[in-house]
Structures are given as structure tokens and as C-alpha cells.
Structure 1
């Protein structure tokens, strides 16, 4: 069982502000996306062997923006509603534990893109996304059954996308012999 770890958890003030809770993951995700040089990332993505069903590069930005917004709103609901003094101690504990898990998963989420595209480490990126899927599946369960069912359901699309991202990450790694270092990136794209 996980526990609430204040040193690993975003400040409660963020969770108690709906705009801050929603905008923080959107802003951080956008910053990481732009820091990996989007045009170069798209060229790399198109140069590597990909598994079937890979979406075109332009799909990822809007999908991730929506998912970041949904996860931020889920975090707001779960922590803001779940830590109310009117709740039972077990609900408050579950909300706080979820806040720690949410913070950890957000950090793991933000390192995936640099791992995969900048460092070209598909094994590490795949381990990262598998950990993300596990943490968020548990988080959806925890929030959905012990804190706020809406918060739990808001995490489901993220878990579904993480399942697909795991397939893409592992598939790309496998099809490129787990080595993305020497792949030629066409400059004309």
C-alpha cells in the first residue's frame, strides 16, 4: 500500500485551485513538448519503424492537452473534495495518498518524451510508460472507489491512452532493435 509523502507531493494549494490543478500539467506537458524540438521530434518519429496503428504526429499535441486537462481536473476533484474535514479519515488518507501518486506519475509522464526522443532510450521509456500505466490504473481505482467516482472515471481515458502509448513505445523499440541512436532522420519532412 502506498502512503502520503508530503516531500513527494505537489502543494495542497495547487490541488485546491481548479485552474492551477488543470493548468499545471497542461503547462508542464507543453513545455516538455516544446523543449524536445517538435519539428525534429516529428522527423524522428517518421524515420523510425513503427508498429501498425500509429497515429500521425499532429494527433499527439491535442490528445495530450486534453488528457493533461482531464487528469488535472481529476486531481482537483479528488484532493479538494477528498480532504474535506467532513470526510472520514480513510477518505482523507486515500485522497492524500492519491495526491502523492499523482505527483509521482506526473513526473514520470514528463520524463517519457525526453527519454524516448532526446536520449533515444526506448527501453527506459517503455519501462517508464509501463510504470505510468500501473500507477494511473491504481490511482483511478483508488480515487474512483475511495474518494470521488468522477475523479476515477476522469482517469480512465488517460489509462487507455497509456495502454496505447505502451504499445507504441514497445513496438517502436522492438522494430528498431531497441536502438534509436543511429536512425537517419530525413531533413526534408
Structure 2
């Protein structure tokens, strides 16, 4: 089991508010998405060799918005219900441990796009995606079996999408020789990030 680390965990006020729990990941995800210049990202995405089953670029925004909302609501349910004074000490402990994991996974999630599209570091982005998948699979299990089944099930689509995203990240890196730099910069400063 993980450890509850207050300094690495979002404030309880966020988890206690369904609106704040849902709005925070959507707002942060949107901010990160727009910080990488969506028009440039779409063009870049289409220029790389992609693995089979690559979704169209327009699909990512709506899918991530829904998934961010679901994960935010799952976090609200698990922490709010799990830390209730009527909960057992084991449930409270699992809810708090999950709150720390949730905060860590949110940071990992927000790091992927700058790693992949901003820095063009597919190896690091793929490691991030796989770690994100593992943390969330465990979080869905922890919250679903120890705190609130609904919270666990709300994370299942997110975990499935993260598995698919890991495949896309790995596949794109592999098919492009782990070098996602612009074609005109590929011959210069081999191995350096943009």
C-alpha cells in the first residue's frame, strides 16, 4: 500500500467539493493542451508515422475532457466518502493513500504532453505513460475495493485509455526511430531535445 503524504496531496477542500474535483483536472488538462499550441500539435501529430488504430486528432480533446471529469468525480467520491467520520480507520487510510496517488498521477498526466509534443522526448513520454497506467490501475483497485466501488469503476475507462495511450506513445516513438524532432533539425545536434 502507498503512503499518505500531505505535502504531495491536493488540499482536502478540492476533494470535498464535487465541482472543484471535476473542474481542476479539466482546467489543468486544458491549460497544458493549449500551452503546446493545439494547431501545431495537430500538424506535428499527423506528420509522424503512427501505429495502427491511431485516432483522429479531433478525438483527443473530447475524450480527455470526459476522462478528466470522470477521474475528478471518482476522486471526490473516494476521498469525501472515504474520510467520513462514519468510515472505518482502514477505509479512511485507503482514501487518504489514494488521494496522494491521485495527486501524483495528475502530475504524471500533465507531464506527458509537454514531454511528447513540447520536448519531443518519446522515450520519457512513454515511460511516463506506462507509469501513469500502472498508478491508475492500482488506484482504481484501491479505491474500488477498499473505499467506494463507484469511484473504482469511474477510473476504469481512464485506465483503459491510458493503456491505449501507452501503446500510441510507444508505437509512435518506435516507428519514428525514437526521434520526433522536425525533419530539418534531425541531422543537427543528434540526441538533443528541441
Q: TM-score range by the shorter chain?
A: over 0.9
Shift of 1:182: 3.4
- Aligned partner of 1:142 in structure 2 is 142
Give the number of aligned pairs: 185
- Aligned partner of 1:31 in structure 2 is 31
For 1:40-189, what aligned pairs fall within 5 Å after superposition? 40-183=40-183
Residue by residue over 1:87-126, the C-alpha shift from the partner in whole angstroms, topping out at 9 and shown as x without a partner, is 1100000000000000000000001000000100000000
Residue by residue over 1:2-47, the C-alpha shift from the partner in whole angstroms, topping out at 9 and shown as x without a partner, is 1100000000000000000000000000000000000000000000
Shift of 1:181: 1.2
Residue by residue over 1:141-187, the C-alpha shift from the partner in whole angstroms, topping out at 9 and shown as x without a partner, is 00000000000000000000000000000000000000101336xxx
- For the 8 Å contact 1:48–1:183, the answer to whether it is kept is no
- Aligned partner of 1:187 in structure 2 is none
- For the 8 Å contact 1:137–1:159, the answer to whether it is kept is yes
Residue by residue over 1:53-102, the C-alpha shift from the partner in whole angstroms, topping out at 9 and shown as x without a partner, is 00010000000000000000000000000000111100000000000000
Please give the root-mean-square deviation of Cα atoms over the aligned residues, in Å.
1.0
Residues of 1 paired with 2:138 and 2:88: CA distance?
Answer: 21
Q: Secondary structure at the match of 1:86?
A: coil
Residues of 1 paired with 2:5 and 2:74: CA distance?
Answer: 19
- Aligned partner of 2:187 in structure 1 is none
Q: Secondary structure at the match of 1:155?
A: helix
Runs (5+) with no aligned partner, structure 1: 185-189
Does residue 1:7 correspond to 2:7, yes or no?
A: yes
Residues of 2 paired with 1:41 and 1:87: CA distance?
Answer: 46
Residues of 2 paired with 1:65 and 1:174: CA distance?
Answer: 28
Runs (5+) with no aligned partner, structure 2: 185-194
